A and B are shown apart, each in its own frame.
Chain A
Amino acid sequence: MNKTGGERRKERLDRGIKVRSDGIYALLSWRELGYLVLPRFVLIAGLLLLPIVVQSLYWQRVISNVCLYALLALSFDFLAHYVGLVSLGGALFIGTGAYIAALLNKQLGLSIILTIPIASVSGAAICTLLLLPCLPLRGVYFAIVSLMYPLAIKGIIEALNIFGGTDGIMGVDSFPNPWVERYFVITIVLLSLFGLRRLVNLDIGLVFRGVKDNDQAVRASGMSITYYKAVAVFIASTMGCLAGACLTHIYMFSGISLFGLDFSILPIAATVIGGGGTLAGPVIGCFILVPISELLREFGTLRTAFYAIILMAFIVFKSEGLMVYGQRKYHQFERWVKI
């Protein structure tokens, strides 16, 4: 940390243990309480104000998109960093949720109030059942298998010409109005984020983390790892299917493009940028990546190249992720001192 010939150096001091511990002692002073509440408040208030601040309809739609990707990124981060399942099944979750919601709406005429919850829960059940045989797999093997599912389902829909075949299902009901749509997805993202953060620190959350850390020790403790993995996949796929159901109602359409690779890859990229294992990081990552990819639309095919460069730069120069970096800086004082 030497600067100008070793006369000064940067000194880093950790903040008091009381605030860093997040514990009950933080209640002792307003200053420490404020220190803890501020980042959370900024995130919540920022998200809630966003649709009001952003004027153009186009960018308002982008906000909804960001939130749906954020749900997927949250579910990826939860599975990968708290359960140890690296899942590329984002497209599976989105597609399943979207098709179920679209079919319920078009075929059975159910209203949007019913289709979204039913599609989330039943879609999650279907995804969990599909992934059940692969749950004993670990690491890259699980990743490969979970990537195959959306491709396989896409192929089946195309080949058998079911569920509207390549045309998809058109004319699905939309949200009553854009404000409901935006605030619904924003609320869901906030609830999922804070809900997951709470979940991973509950006793059952510790079991999930135990499965990631050391699954043999969990078996030796008399618990079935497959059961707990299945529960975790159900939680994650509920979020994914919910995002899918919202997507189909926002675009009033469900088609095989929803089983596309984008939904599996972008959440991972967002997690890398935001910082894996922080849960808030992937959400922030989505708020960076999705708008960038919208801005790059003007460049046509060059878009992918720019996108790749941004990702590579992050992986090389800030591989820990923005959130981890930010947290560290927030917990430290920095000042220059004379040697």
Chain B
Amino acid sequence: MKADNQPMLHVEEATKAFGGILALNRVSFDVHPGEILGIIGPNGSGKTTLVNCITGFVTMTSGKVFFKGKNITGKPAHKIADLGVTRTFQIMRPYFSLPAYKNLVIPLFSPRAKRTGGWRGGGKLGDRNTVGIDILEEIGFERDSFVPYKLASSLPTGYLKRLELARCLALKPEIILCDEVFSGLSMSEIASMVPLIERLQMDGITLIMIEHRLRELFRVAGRVMVLNFGEKLVEGTPEEVMANAKVKEAYFGSEEVEEVMTYA
């Protein structure tokens, strides 16, 4: 493996067994710097487990994960996040009792943000609140409205999904693993999220996106990997993947796929 061609993330035969059930069965793939990799698959195919394994929230039964050539297998979750491998949660996990911008003070207090974010995570002024509001504005919270100051418990799903992304951005991440950022959103909310994802890519952040909204995913993802029953079916460009017979079989009967295939 040459140093300049090193993948951002290299997963080698990731396997996870819950009792007798193989949630992940020898899944291997690479993610290259700056690309967006989509991961799709039917319900229960092991997508979220894969994210949990990579980010250390679940220990793998066997297999290895390398981040920039460095073995991060079995490291605790907070150490992996400290390296810049961040994730969002499918079920949003904000700090409900805090206002939205105070939600970002917590990641800005982390060792990584203190190292990378200037003056101990507080930017030029050393004030984490202002940096938090800046990040929220970047991610689509209107600065002059009262939305950033509302309690997270009173925010609608669209804003909570954005807040999840903002929590990752506060850490100045190298790679974000997005676990279904589009799910539960209305069409117009999704439409406003897509440019956001594109901008993250332009900022040089590598993304892994787990999605059920295939149409929107295929607009942004350069490469797509399909999981089924914990196994990797195929990997390739969106067109290649959707043309694959095995994928059609796995998704058999899904209207979404019919729709997307005509679109592709």
Interface residues of A, Cβ cutoff 8 Å to B? 203-204, 206-207, 209-210, 213-214, 216-225
What's the minimum C-beta distance from A20 to chain B, rounded to whole angstroms? 14
A-B contact pairs, 7 of them (CB 8 A): A203-B128, A207-B109, A217-B89, A219-B77, A221-B107, A221-B167, A223-B78
Q: Are A203 and B105 in contact (CB under 8 A)?
A: yes
Contact (Cβ within 8 A) B95 A217: yes
Least CB distance from B146 to A in Å reads 11
Q: Is B97 part of the contact surface with A, judged by Cβ < 8 Å? A: yes
Residue of B78, B82, B97, B171 near A209 (CB, 8 A) is B97
Q: Are A203 and B109 in touch, CB under 8 angstroms?
A: yes
Residue of A nearest to B171 (CB): A222
* In the bound complex, CA of A210 to CA of B87 (Å): 17
A207 surroundings in chain B (CB, below 8 A): 106, 109
A222, B82: Cβ atoms under 8 Å?
yes
- Sorted nearest first, the 4 A-B pairs with minimum C-beta distance are A222-B81, A221-B107, A222-B82, A213-B95
CA distance A217 to B112 in the complex (A): 15
With A206-B109, A207-B109 already in contact, the answer to whether A221 and B89 are too (CB < 8 A) is: no
Q: A206-B105, A210-B106 are in contact. List 16 more A-B contacts (CB 8 A).
A: A203-B109, A206-B95, A209-B97, A213-B96, A216-B57, A216-B89, A219-B78, A220-B77, A220-B81, A220-B87, A222-B81, A222-B110, A222-B111, A222-B113, A222-B171, A223-B106
Q: Contacts of B79 on A, CB cut-off 8 Å?
A: 222
Set of chain A residues within 8 Å of B96, measured between Cβ atoms? 213-214
B93 within 8 A of A: yes
Residues of A within 8 A of B78 (CB): 218-219, 221-225
Interface flag for B214 (CB, 8 Å): no
| B55 interface contact, C-beta 8 A | yes
Q: At the interface, yes or no: B202 with Cβ under 8 Å from chain A?
A: no
Nearest-CB distance from A25 to chain B (Å)? Answer: 14
User: What is the CA–CA distance of A220 and B80 in the complex, to the nearest angstrom?
Assistant: 9
Task: Kindly state the separation between the CA atoms of A209 and B87 in the bound complex, as whole angstroms.
Answer: 21
By a CB distance below 8 angstroms, the chain A residues around B112 are 222
Indicate whether A220 sits within 8 Å of B55 (C-beta atoms), given known contacts A203-B109, A213-B95, A214-B94.
yes
Neighbour of A220 across the interface among B97, B105, B108, B167, CB < 8 A: B167
What is the CA–CA distance of A270 and B116 in the complex, to the nearest angstrom?
Answer: 44
**Option from B76, B97, B105, B107 in Cβ contact (under 8 Å) with A213:** B97
Is residue B98 contacting chain A, with contact meaning CB distance below 8 A? yes
Q: Are A217 and B167 interface neighbours, CB within 8 A?
A: yes
A204 to chain B, nearest CB (A): 7
Identify which of B55, B86, B95 contacts A210 (C-beta below 8 A). Answer: B95
Q: Once the chains bind, are A214 and B93 in contact (CB under 8 Å)?
A: yes
Which residues of the other chain, B, contact A223 by a CB distance below 8 angstroms?
78, 106, 109-111
User: Once the chains are docked, how many angstroms separate the CA of A287 from the CA of B172?
Assistant: 49
B110 near A216 with CB under 8 A, answer no
Residues of chain B having any CB pair with chain A under 8 Å: 55, 57, 76-79, 81-82, 86-87, 89, 93-98, 102, 105-113, 128, 167, 170-171
| Residues of chain A contacted by B55 (CB below 8 angstroms) | 220
Closest residue of chain A to B129 (Cβ to Cβ) is A203
Bound-state Cα–Cα, A224 to B112, Å? 12
B85's nearest neighbour on chain A, judged by CB, is: A222
CA distance A27 to B82 in the complex (A): 42
Max chain B Cβ within 10 angstroms of own Cβ: one of A213, A214, A219, A221: A221
B-side contacts of A222, CB under 8 Å: 78-79, 81-82, 86, 107, 110-113, 171
Closest to B86 in A: A220
Shortest beta-carbon distance from B208 to chain A in Å: 15
Contact A220 B98 (CB under 8 A): no
The listed residue with most B CB atoms (<10 A of its CB), out of A216, A217, A220, A225, is A220
Contacting residue for A219 out of B81, B97, B102, CB 8 A: B81
In the complex, the chain A residue whose C-beta lies closest to that of B76 is A224
Point out the residues of chain A lying under 8 angstroms from B87, CB to CB. Answer: 220
Nearest A residue to B77 via CB reads A219
User: Which B residue sits closest to A213, measured CB to CB?
Assistant: B95
Bound Cα distance A58, B159 (Å): 59
Inter-chain CA distance A224–B111, complex, in Å, is 10
**Cβ B93 vs Cβ A221 within 8 A:** no
* Cα A2 to Cα B65 with chains together (Å): 67
- Min Cβ gap B244→A in Å is 33
Asked if B89 and A213 sit within 8 Å, CB to CB, the answer is no
* Residue in B86, B98, B106, B108 whose CB lies within 8 Å of A218: B106
Shortest CB distance B236–A (Å): 30
* Cα–Cα distance between A207 and B113 once the two chains are bound (Å): 14
Shortest CB-to-CB span from A177 to chain B, Å, is: 45
Contacts of A224 on B, CB cut-off 8 Å? 76, 78
**Cα separation A219 to B98 with both chains bound (whole Å):** 17
**What is the CA–CA distance of A219 and B110 in the complex, to the nearest angstrom?**
10
Report A-chain residues with C-beta under 8 Å of the C-beta of B98. Answer: 206, 209-210, 213
The answer to whether B93 touches A216 (Cβ under 8 A) is yes
Contacts of B167 on A, CB cut-off 8 Å?
217, 220-221
| A216 surroundings in chain B (CB, below 8 A) | 57, 89, 93
Residues of B within 8 A of A203 (CB): 105, 108-109, 128
Q: Which residue of A lies closest to B56 (CB)?
A: A219
Q: Give bound CA distance, A75 to B113, whole Å.
A: 30
A221 to B128, CA, bound (A): 15
B107 nearest CB neighbor, chain A only = A221
Contact of B109 among A204, A214, A225 (CB under 8 A): A204
For B82, give the chain A residue with the smallest CB separation. A222
Q: Is the CB of A221 within 8 A of B171?
A: yes
Q: How far is the CA of A220 from the CA of B177 in the complex (A)?
A: 11
